[in-house]
Structure 1
Amino acid sequence: MVERTEQGDVVGRVLGTADATPLTFWVAVAPGAYLQLDDVVVTNREMPDGSTVTIAGVVTAVRARHEGAQFDSDVFAIADGTLPAQVQEAAEITTTRVQPEVYVPPAPGAIVHRAEGDARASALYFDNMQRKVPMGFGRDGAPVFLNADFLDGSRGAHVSISGISGVATKTSFATFLLYSVFRCGALGGAGESANSRALIFNVKGEDLLFLDHPNARLDESTIDAYNKLGLTAGPFPDVRVYAPPRPGDSSGTPDVSSRHTGVDSFYWTLAEFCELRLLPFVFADADDERQQYTMVVHAVTAHLARVAVPADSGISIDGTRIGGYAELVDYLVNQLNDDATRGIWTGSAVGLGTVNAFARRLIGSKKDLARLIRGDLAVRRPHSINTAESAQVTVVDLHNLPDRAQRFVVGVTLKSEFERKEKAGTAKPLLFVVLDELNKYAPREGSSPIKEVLLDIAERGRSLGVVLIGAQQTASEVERRIVSNSAIRVVGRLDPAEASRPEYGFLPPAQRQRALLAKPGTMFVAQPEIPVPLCVEFPFPSWATRPSEAGPPPNATLRSIVQASDPFAVVGASTKSLEDDDIPF
């Protein structure tokens, strides 16, 4: 029978045949007890002055062996009962906390308890966290928390999530983390949480377009799991979705197939494209910065901002009216091919080969960007992505766009949001940016306008209230400064070659091996206060993660009434608080 004390069940004693140090030690598991990876244990060391040092840690390795066996074949004789031996299990413990901080090793033979309740909270520093964000459950079934101080910029910011695409559930964990942050009150109460914002780029299918719909697969066990975490299971209450216009559609209809209400088109007018100097984001591939034509890009951008004048349904340059992106590209190419005007646009003596390389790249962008840079939709409907004037969660759908267009949207949107935060000069409200495929937008090698914006966010975003939640298949291919500035590092299922990279050096050897086998929903989370990454299982999403899971939104009646009166209306922050009785019939 397992003995029990206030600290928890007695699971064994400190091993005397292996070195015990203040940072690692081994525990012989008692008969009838067991220890598994990620269990939290605690032991005490009596000091000569009569004081007690409490040493707590996490199980990072477990072994079992026959004591009394000499040869490999002895296992058969032991199993037959002809050779006396006994099975002994032992567990390696990596120390997480020592109280008081007297770093002495535990004494061999000292009793070891499985930490529960207050002892577990102390071992994992949960008792020191003034603002706790639930992340999921540990292997013992108890809640695991994240310190909000390392998420909102108080003492650190940014989250890096790595794992194999489709298996590691990176996006699911990122959205659950957002849901937990907004619902747990760790940001300072309901009012503070409501003032925080999230900007999510949807790059795969239409899975993130239904965050405000309950998950039809939600069951009682999942609801109970959310309750145990102190959360209410349900969808995101305040979501606004943006999608690009359909190709060739002069009305600007959003290019989505599964969601038919609450979606706005986003695009930029020709006047905005020139005034805001967005041309460099047309050349947003990291390879572009290695080319000599980048000097032409910046010269043309500056001249375009000087000479372009807004006009009806487009812009005017030196009396020439331009009504679309394709027309603008053709005009610029003609100006650069003309010997009389080339120097005016390039600003210096640039070789014809360099100009032609720029022109070829620019011409190649016409097909990809024509539906995003418009001269015909400026007065017909709102089109700007502005999280400060949007809902609590803004989803920008990119999955129907080609790669060049995706880069343009991500780069321009992040630049605009970051500049707004700079002008505001305050970190409140917080803006969480969720960006998948970070290795594409901020690769380790090369430079690009998007990468520079992301680096700015990683290095200065903390002070401005911009928090990057970046996900990628391979952290080894992401710019080092972005990864190193992430206070929270999360790892799901990893590829074997990727797991051996130094970027995952924060994982103990056993966790690196386990990351090759991790099932969907299991993540290893490292945060600054806790020396050992924690294994976390987060609950099934309570919001729809794909069209087939989407139940009717809680405000379905309100949404249908507003949409009927205005097909372009978005039910967001301005209408979500209305009750059905408040709507005039």
Structure 2
Amino acid sequence: MVTLKSSGDALTQDDLNSLLEELDKWLKSEKKISNYPNARVDRDRRKGKLEELVRKAPRPPTLKRIADEIKDEIELALSENEDPDVLQDIAEFFQNRLGVEVKTPFAPRFITEKQPVSAGIEPTEPPVGARVIGRVAPTIRTPATPTEFTFWVEDSEDVHVETGSLVTARNEGGVRITGLVSEIQAVSDVETVLDSFYAHAFGRPEAELPTRLPLVMSAKVEVVRRSDGRTEPIRGTWPVTFATAKEIREAYGAEISPEHEVLAGFTYDDQGNPVPISLDARYVVGYEAAHINISGASGVATKTSYALFLLYGLLAYSEKCDGSVAAVAFNVKEADLMFIDHLPEEWNELKRWEQHARLGPSVGLWFQARDHYGVDPIKWAQERRFRFFAPMHFRPEGGVLSQRRDDIIKPFNYSLDTLIRSGVGSLYALFDVGDLDEKALALIASMSEVARAESLTFETLIRRVEAALKSGDRGDWFTFGNTSHHKATAHKILNRMKHALDNQLRGVVLRSENTDQPIPIQDLRPGQLWVIDITQLSDKGQRLVFQTLVRTVFQKLEERKSLELTGQLQGELRAFPKHVVIFVDELNKFVPAGQEYSALKGEIVEMAARGRSVGMALCGAQQLASKVDEEVLANTSTFAVGRSHAVEIRKPPYAWLAEGLKERAMVLDKGWMLLWHSLHKRPVLVRFPLPLHRIFEEVGGS
């Protein structure tokens, strides 16, 4: 291998071929020149330049001689004010991958500490082909810092800088600082509206003045990445351009290795081409970190659509990198997720819609997601990786409580025995928050113990408690399950339980049987997406199904990991996924914020805190993140915000957004999200495509 060669060893033709292959791999993994339009062209430019340098180097070629040639070419490029970007990447490859020093003005700090500080070089003209849109402006009022800088924007109608735009400032030494525009404003030297009125022909708006008052637009930029790794402010009035695809990929993907990439959406480069933004799977599904939270106003933020896109990205990661990920999604309202398998038979059916004015951009993004990340819902639907479940209908003829009622939908219900086996906490969902004081919890615990020991149904359990109440001879107290309880507590709990079973939980919970059909979570396999329809259940029913399934998944994952660590993993658990993502809309309904009694949410909050360690991740969505339990949010590694209300966006859960980005969040269009991830130093504005089944529905699919 060429990486094992000494810098002075002569290189054979095989070595030179290996050198080009290593460069290509390194450009993909380290420089993130991959998965965007023209990425291969960008890599080929660098490989072609390296071939040219090899030909120019003295014979026989060695790594040292090639490195010297790189140095000479860089000095020539800088003296002639040419773009050193290609040469810079080759130099970094020689230093970081091959361990051969290339002395350049922009050598990385961790390679050679004694290099001149290139940030001090005064900028000249930008590289050929990059349009300058402004200049950095360090002033008394807008000082440049290691984390932000301000630049003025060219006064031209052809330059469109918005909050959320990605830009790059650079100097002639090759240092590039890529950042996110977080605020933008336009000002003139006119002090008041009154002055402006008189200056414009004494307030005649139709008048065309012979001279135009200068207008200065300035933008504040939050630094995402500095190419030389230093943490120091910009020194000088560096030229600013829109960020290229390569710069964006480096800025938001430098810490994410290719094998852990999960597609999270697209932003746009200086040419208007979509550039993928990725998450690190280890920080989404565990074991480093976990959980995703998506917020935004109802109906305009497309929270469910974005969650579905993220789930597809995770399934593609599982398939491509053997990540062993499965997903479970709760359909909480309408039928958003119940028809995700209604797709065309092949991708070619969508080709003719690529030029459609409205659907075309989404179709193009889907093809890019499929080609570069393996996101292929059409194939998964044909392989029947999507499964659907709905509560059994309470009417005698059966059926399901769902808007979709074909044979694909599998009915489910729960008995007392199954609920208790998932954890006594499942029984708490039968009651309201105010019912669950310490006395009530003690009685429910005793009822659970007796029912488990004797395999009771709800009906027989109620009878046993009523019998114990009648036989009690201790005044206001009676004994049940070897524990004393107050009779008033028992009457209240029995009344609430009967009402819930007969009204709010009809169909989903069996009162007089233990022969139930629970959701067969043990059959879940990697690469599958299960959709559970709970739209037609009451709040109690939704909470019961959600909490029961979450507990069951957590128990399976905990047991699986324990056996895997001890080398005893086998049988059914061996086939169970290592990681499970659970999506639910209206998360605040299941883990509300505030001082509400913790019995209804305590175990879920605890499992959220421990989820990353066993491989369970919650992907929660809601209109108001401020209404979700703070501990759940504190353990969340990834946040996405769609269009939000002005009152909500000012609250603490959105502190990761700069003020200008909060204002942008109030006017976001459908299909756009502000995204923050643990390994992203700053937020990023991403676009995601319309759900594929919605596109197919609109173009006449059936």
Please indicate the TM-score interval, normalised by the length of the shorter structure.
Answer: 0.7 to 0.9
**In the alignment, which residue of structure 2 is the partner of 1:38?**
164
**In the alignment, which residue of structure 2 is the partner of 1:72?**
193
Q: Whole-Å Cα distance in 2 between the matches of residues 12 and 276 of structure 1? A: 61
**Aligned residue type for 1:487:** S
**Quick check: 1:437 aligned with 2:586?**
yes
TM-score (norm 1): 0.81
- Structure 1 residues 105, 64: CA separation in 2 closer, same or farther (over 3 Å shift)? same
**Quick check: 1:289 aligned with 2:436?**
yes
**Aligned residue type for 1:137:** F
- Structure 1 residues 286, 525: CA separation in 2 closer, same or farther (over 3 Å shift)? farther
**Quick check: 1:104 aligned with 2:232?**
yes
**In the alignment, which residue of structure 2 is the partner of 1:561?**
none
**In the alignment, which residue of structure 2 is the partner of 1:495?**
645
Q: Whole-Å Cα distance in 1 between the matches of residues 624 and 304 of structure 2? A: 14
5+ residue gaps, structure 1, are 309-314, 316-321, 553-585
**Aligned residue type for 1:223:** V
8 Å Cα contact 1:523-1:536 kept in structure 2: yes
Q: Deviations over 1:286-338 (max 9, x none)?
A: 44434632221112211222233xxxxxx5xxxxxx6xx45643553443354
**Aligned residue type for 1:13:** R
SS at match of 1:343: strand
Q: Deviations over 1:315-366 (max 9, x none)?
A: 5xxxxxx6xx456435534433542697332643333322222222222212
How many residues are treated as equivalent by the alignment? 525
Q: Deviations over 1:128-173 (max 9, x none)?
A: 5433222222254422312223213243211011112222111111
Q: Whole-Å Cα distance in 2 between the matches of residues 371 and 389 of structure 1? A: 24
- Structure 1 residues 422, 6: CA separation in 2 closer, same or farther (over 3 Å shift)? farther
8 Å Cα contact 2:583-2:619 kept in structure 1: yes
- Structure 1 residues 7, 210: CA separation in 2 closer, same or farther (over 3 Å shift)? same
**Aligned residue type for 1:152:** V
Out of 606, 615, 630, the position equivalent to 1:456 is 606
- Structure 1 residues 385, 546: CA separation in 2 closer, same or farther (over 3 Å shift)? farther
TM-score (norm 2): 0.68
Q: Whole-Å Cα distance in 2 between the matches of residues 192 and 449 of structure 1? A: 37
**In the alignment, which residue of structure 1 is the partner of 2:46?**
none
Q: Whole-Å Cα distance in 2 between the matches of residues 172 and 521 of structure 1? A: 8
- Structure 1 residues 332, 240: CA separation in 2 closer, same or farther (over 3 Å shift)? farther
Q: Deviations over 1:442-491 (max 9, x none)?
A: 11233445523322332211121111101122211211111011100111
User: Shift of the alpha carbon at 1:508?
Assistant: 0.6
**In the alignment, which residue of structure 2 is the partner of 1:158?**
291
**In the alignment, which residue of structure 1 is the partner of 2:148?**
24
**Quick check: 1:135 aligned with 2:264?**
yes
User: Shift of the alpha carbon at 1:233?
Assistant: 5.8
Q: Whole-Å Cα distance in 2 between the matches of residues 295 and 378 of structure 1? A: 24
Higher strand share: 1
Coordinate RMSD, CA, aligned: 3.2
**In the alignment, which residue of structure 2 is the partner of 1:117?**
245
Out of 265, 279, 285, the position equivalent to 1:147 is 279
SS at match of 1:350: strand
SS at match of 1:158: strand
Out of 327, 333, 352, the position equivalent to 1:198 is 327
8 Å Cα contact 2:451-2:461 kept in structure 1: no
**In the alignment, which residue of structure 1 is the partner of 2:555?**
419
**Aligned residue type for 1:269:** S
SS at match of 2:678: coil
- Once the two structures are superposed, the pairs formed by residues 104-503 of structure 1 within 5 Å of their partners are 104-126=232-254, 128-130=256-258, 131-138=260-267, 140=269, 141-148=273-280, 149-183=282-316, 186-187=317-318, 189-190=319-320, 192=322, 195-214=324-343, 219-220=353-354, 221=360, 222-229=362-369, 230=372, 234-235=377-378, 236-237=380-381, 238-249=385-396, 252-273=398-419, 278=424, 280-283=427-430, 285-290=432-437, 292-308=439-455, 315=456, 325-326=458-459, 328-339=461-472, 343-345=478-480, 347-367=482-502, 368-374=504-510, 383-386=518-521, 388-389=523-524, 392-425=528-561, 428-444=577-593, 445-449=595-599, 451-503=601-653
- Structure 1 residues 382, 364: CA separation in 2 closer, same or farther (over 3 Å shift)? closer
User: Shift of the alpha carbon at 1:244?
Assistant: 0.8
**Quick check: 1:86 aligned with 2:214?**
yes
Moved more, 285-294 or 76-85: 76-85
8 Å Cα contact 1:14-1:107 kept in structure 2: no
- Which structure would you say has the larger Rg? 2
**Aligned residue type for 1:393:** L
- Structure 1 residues 266, 546: CA separation in 2 closer, same or farther (over 3 Å shift)? farther
% identical equivalent positions: 24
**Aligned residue type for 2:332:** V
User: Shift of the alpha carbon at 1:247?
Assistant: 1.2
8 Å Cα contact 1:39-1:59 kept in structure 2: yes
Higher helix share: 2
SS at match of 1:483: helix
Q: Whole-Å Cα distance in 2 between the matches of residues 446 and 538 of structure 1? A: 36
- Structure 1 residues 10, 124: CA separation in 2 closer, same or farther (over 3 Å shift)? farther
Relative contact order, higher structure (CA 8 A, sep 6+): 1
**Aligned residue type for 1:39:** S
